[in-house]
Amino acid sequence: MSIDPHRLWRSRLKNGLQTLLILASLALVVALPGYLLAGGLGVVASLVVVMTGVYASSWVPARVILANAGAGLLERHQAPTLYRVLDLLYRRAGLSDSPQLFYLPSPDLNAFAVGSGDNGGITVSDGLLRTLTLRELAGVLAHEVSHLRHGDTRVMSMAAAMTRLTLWLTTLLQVSLLLMLPLILTGEMTLPWGVLLVVAFAPTLSTLLQLALSRNREYTADLDAVTLTGDPEGLASALAVLERHHGRWLATLFGRQPPTDVEWLRTHPPTEERIRRLMAAGHQHPPLHSHLDEEHVQAPPEILGYPNPMDRRYWRHRRR
């Protein structure tokens, strides 16, 4: 089944509009305490601080973050099959730079992208490499390539900066209310209910919007991954494995019945809904696993060596 280009366009347009709406809402939330503190100048200053912080963070090499996380650079000769998959994904995604894959010595099943398409990389954990088949791992890598392709890490950095600034500004408002408390008690000032409402609800609202943005970008990355791999079943199978793994972990932590998740408090959408959307998407390219040896597709990838964690000076090295 091939993907309907009109359906793909509508889905991308819908997700893009949702992203813009959420970012605009976050900007409005962070502007409210700024306005209460310093009027129009406070609004401008708040937005300038957010944009400056995001711009400055974009200059931090991804390798600095990965070195702090204890990751190591997985060389091509150590994971030739994985790099063969990544090379094909990068070509299909239109990314000109050579891919970089990092290894995290952790038993957790995890993968994440850091940086952007021109200065970033993908990190996979030891647990993920040992658990997923190559076909499933290709779907996960395609999902992370999509995050790099669309600059999702910068979008989420902007949302996180807005949420942090909202918290700081509402803290200043709380201090201001405490300083005004004697005047309020003596009747020289009335209680500023608007300020109280902003202090009470702005941080929570900003956090909920940030979580909604994260879920939106995950849906978009899933759909984009299908266009890169041509194999919705591969990513759907990987998501099912991850759900079983995390479900078992929750069961051991909380007992036989894990707590029911509240959807709007999650960073990722429900796995069942993600799988449903994947299976309804179809595919565009020939399946990526058709370019690989069949006997390797249904087994975990072969890793010929593992790197040591990067030291703190790794950021000085030029990207190869």
Report whether 151 contacts 116 (CB < 8 A). yes
DSSP-derived letter for residue 315 is: G
Q: Mutual orientation of helices 152-185 and 193-229 as an angle, nearest 10°?
A: 170
Cα(33)–Cα(43) distance, rounded to whole angstroms? 8
Q: Is 272 one of the annotated active-site residues of the chain?
A: no
In the numeric block, which tokens belong to residue 202? 């702005």
| Element holding 112 (H helix, E strand) | strand 111-116
In the numeric block, which tokens belong to residue 61? 């090499």
Q: 125 forms bridges with which residues in the sheet?
A: 104
Nearest to 225 by CA among 1, 6, 7, 8: 8
Cα(172)–Cα(245) distance, rounded to whole angstroms? 43
| Alpha-carbon Rg for the chain in angstroms | 23
Residue 303, classified by CB atoms within 10 Å of its CB into exposed (0-12), middle (13-18) or buried (19+), is middle
Name the catalytic one among 136, 144, 218, 233: 144
Report whether 85 contacts 134 (CB < 8 A). yes
Nearest to 116 by CA among 130, 96, 131: 96
Residues annotated as part of the active site: 144
